[in-house]
Structure 1
């Protein structure tokens, strides 16, 4: 079995130079780096990553904690994180928190225990105080899809209040006044922010927010189904529904279509997130963007910049939503 000594002899360099190449030290010239890599390939040498980690105090691994592993929302985020880090020869270790405080804390401890060089956290249940304290520890953290003022330099986030306002403003511009609202779970900050944006838009148009036609959903299709069945059972007039995400909007629209209601002729809809599949159904869903994939990439670049000292990357931490108009809403007749 080839050793690091064999590599140094074949490449004609010192053991220290081989070590620098394995640790991606930028001080090694491209010519020397290639000689070492060619020697490693010729000998079939595989570095002992555990030994490397102990020697360099760097594991070249990043922990990623997400709320859940299923659905169309988190996959693109994790893909961008992994792709960006893999391009820099870093690897990810993924854990799920399931929007539960105890599980989120347990997953943080698990990732720290694996010697991760940094943590990318998409967390919803732990407190701001917990995250502020965590940020002062030995393992650097960056938050994704969450804003904490005290550690704002570690946050990659979307202006959700503005997005909620944008969605409702569009519906109001079409002349709708009786507007139902399907929110996300209210323990989630993004759900509260989107609702605040909705209420602000209503107030600016002197339209009262009607709690009776507000339903707290779960950000999933079945939550949209339950919400729409409840709203229709009230026999209260409404001509439009603003949904806090696209999955619930899709479930709600399916109920309307099953009951013979026409969308948007009878009820207009708008969603939030701009996930792919609502663009392939009829009607195509009006929505507000949530570039979670790009936020994932930015969180990975933050780690490369702040932890691995890559000064060639540029990080944008604040994202502004965009409105996408298709054909699920129309002017009130």
Structure 2
């Protein structure tokens, strides 16, 4: 059976353009519209329920695009979405994007094929232009954990630069000056922004963040272990570790403890996200709370409102900020 992607490839246009043709949308030239319609007929494509759902502004099901399902962070996000859709008696369809451009695109197209005109999308790999195109085509399209100025009113996002500043500021207030950063190796905005915030705060206090103070690895516990092992192997001197997320912080702590380094008396560790793991690792992890469930609830409410015909307010944006959760893994630096 032909898909929107098949039609787009055959016509030499984007998937969003095909969706506009299906739904009689604007911004499509007559020649392009006719070409797409002919290819749809030739390939036997029948939009049926999907088209009707979009035209009537009613969502038969609610779509979610997540990078993966196993990460506790994204499980919490999905729970926030489900808490809203359950009350609205709306069915959820979930797809994963794996932080890969082609996979994210396929995930969104799959949801369209299942007549989702309301969806919350976590996309890190797709370019801004493609996401803007989808936002202009899908009535209830909302991005989470990403900000694009042109569609600001469809973005529910966290200020990660402010988050980096906050964690660095807190560590500096505890008297730590010898710091290392354990970060994600993925080329997405989140780790870049968090490091930028850390660097800004360190620079404001007369401390340079040199490249040898940062180790990049996979954003999970194993990645945290590997990054910390690299620091120890090269004899890095530090009294505090700033981790990209709680999983990496937990892995780094495991490696430190395996080398008989006391936490927090010898080395303090701070994480990011405040997932359930943070409460139950030992020592309990001081971290930044990422209000992902709250953000997911807001994103879901917006998607349903927009799909129902309520127009997004021009220029409106939905920015959140992380906050410090103090537990046991950070202490004053030994003078």
- The answer, yes or no, to whether TM exceeds 0.5 is yes
| Corresponding residue of 1:215 | 215
CA RMSD in angstroms comes to 2.2
Matches of 1:200 and 1:139 in 2, distance apart? 38
Query: Does the residue aligned with 2:72 lie in a helix, a strand or coil?
Result: coil
2:153 matched to 1:162? no
User: How many angstroms does 1:261 deviate by?
Assistant: 0.8
2:118·2:138 contact (CA, 8 Å) conserved in 1? no
**Higher mean Cα deviation, 316-325 or 223-232?**
316-325
| Corresponding residue of 1:91 | 91
Summarize deviations over 1:153-202 as a string: whole Å, max 9, x none: 00001111101110011111111111000112341111111111110110
Matches of 1:289 and 1:255 in 2, distance apart? 24
1:298·1:316 contact (CA, 8 Å) conserved in 2? no
**Higher mean Cα deviation, 192-201 or 315-324?**
315-324
User: How many angstroms does 1:75 deviate by?
Assistant: 0.8
Query: Does the residue aligned with 2:257 lie in a helix, a strand or coil?
Result: helix
| Corresponding residue of 1:111 | 111
Change (3 A) 1:310 1:136: closer
Once the two structures are superposed, the pairs formed by residues 164-179 of structure 1 within 5 Å of their partners are 164-179=164-179
2:58·2:307 contact (CA, 8 Å) conserved in 1? no
2:285·2:328 contact (CA, 8 Å) conserved in 1? yes
Once the two structures are superposed, the pairs formed by residues 252-271 of structure 1 within 5 Å of their partners are 252-271=252-271
User: How many angstroms does 1:139 deviate by?
Assistant: 4.3
Equivalences, count: 282
Matches of 2:318 and 2:87 in 1, distance apart? 20
Matches of 1:253 and 1:57 in 2, distance apart? 50
Give the TM-score, by structure 2 length. 0.79
Change (3 A) 1:55 1:253: closer
| Corresponding residue of 2:120 | 120
Give the TM-score, by structure 1 length. 0.80
Gaps spanning 5+ residues in structure 1: where?
A: 1-48
Change (3 A) 1:110 1:262: same
**Is the radius of gyration larger for structure 1 or structure 2?**
1
Matches of 2:288 and 2:54 in 1, distance apart? 46
Gaps spanning 5+ residues in structure 2: where?
A: 1-48
Matches of 1:330 and 1:174 in 2, distance apart? 7
Query: Does the residue aligned with 2:137 lie in a helix, a strand or coil?
Result: coil
Deviation beyond 2 Å, 4+ runs, structure 1? 52-60, 308-311
User: How many angstroms does 1:134 deviate by?
Assistant: 1.6
| Corresponding residue of 1:69 | 69
Once the two structures are superposed, the pairs formed by residues 180-219 of structure 1 within 5 Å of their partners are 180-219=180-219
User: How many angstroms does 1:245 deviate by?
Assistant: 0.5
| Corresponding residue of 1:320 | 321
